[in-house]
Structure 1
């Protein structure tokens, strides 16, 4: 009888752990959805999607406000930072493939507007701060 009670308690314990694990997953999905920033412009046929936990909080509380930098400043920085980032994507044996997943197609001849340049630059600032990455051009806040 004692063994049956112990087995029943063990089964309930394992079952309850399984319920907690599922609830944790749904919470992660909600957090990821809240940390997704998407900007698109159909006329220029571009889209920028940033899926990074904590980036939304960073933009809304830590990053310098929109208008702090000029668009030309952001464009110049982004051109250099994107080249550096893309070089890291092309060297998976040297750089973490979890951080440098795919190349960023950034053409300096296209006017993406202030918002895209602002978010892209702050994405690099966020990466450098969050993951202690150093780019060829210092990113600062």
Structure 2
């Protein structure tokens, strides 16, 4: 039940971001963008990101898989999830059109490389697209 609730929240988060206007990141307008699925079958964990421009970002801007270690990705994701959730819990101070849902990322769970890689890159993408900084010493700039 908890997993289904998490999936529903994260799907609605992605759907909401999809509806949030245009992306400043250029993409080929002749191709239809498909959702990015972040999943770990062994944990029965799945997140679907529907945010215009993220596919393009992941395919052409993000560093290739293997560039960062899983430990590095997990460390960044822990910091960024904490800040994201802090903002989502403070709708008066932060834009609820961006920070609609809490991200249930638990540091005690090994989500695997793929989940951490895509989540990390989504946070990079979101920081660029929405001109925000989630902190942790690594802004939305690509290094």
In the alignment, which residue of structure 1 is the partner of 2:73? 74
CA distance in 2, matches of 1:47, 1:113: 12
3-state DSSP class of the match of 2:93?
A: coil
Q: CA shift at 1:136, angstroms?
A: 1.8
User: Higher helix share goes to which structure?
Assistant: 1
CA distance in 2, matches of 1:84, 1:35: 27
Q: Is the 8 A contact 2:40 2:112 kept in 1?
A: no
Is structure 2 residue 87 aligned with structure 1 residue 96? no
3-state DSSP class of the match of 2:43?
A: coil
CA distance in 2, matches of 1:126, 1:71: 19
In the alignment, which residue of structure 1 is the partner of 2:37? 38
User: TM-score scaled by structure 2?
Assistant: 0.72
Q: Is the 8 A contact 1:35 1:54 kept in 2?
A: no
Higher relative contact order (CA 8 A, sep 6+): 2
Gaps of 5+ in 2: 1-30
Q: CA shift at 1:41, angstroms?
A: 3.0
In the alignment, which residue of structure 1 is the partner of 2:28? none
In the alignment, which residue of structure 2 is the partner of 1:118? 117
User: TM-score scaled by structure 1?
Assistant: 0.73
The structure having more radius of gyration, on CA atoms, is: 1
In the alignment, which residue of structure 1 is the partner of 2:11? none
CA distance in 2, matches of 1:101, 1:66: 28
CA distance in 2, matches of 1:126, 1:70: 19
In the alignment, which residue of structure 2 is the partner of 1:105? 104
Kindly tell me the number of residue pairs found equivalent between the two proteins. Answer: 110
Q: Is the 8 A contact 2:38 2:118 kept in 1?
A: no
CA distance in 1, matches of 2:131, 2:46: 27
In the alignment, which residue of structure 2 is the partner of 1:63? 62
In the alignment, which residue of structure 1 is the partner of 2:8? none
Q: Is the 8 A contact 1:39 1:49 kept in 2?
A: yes
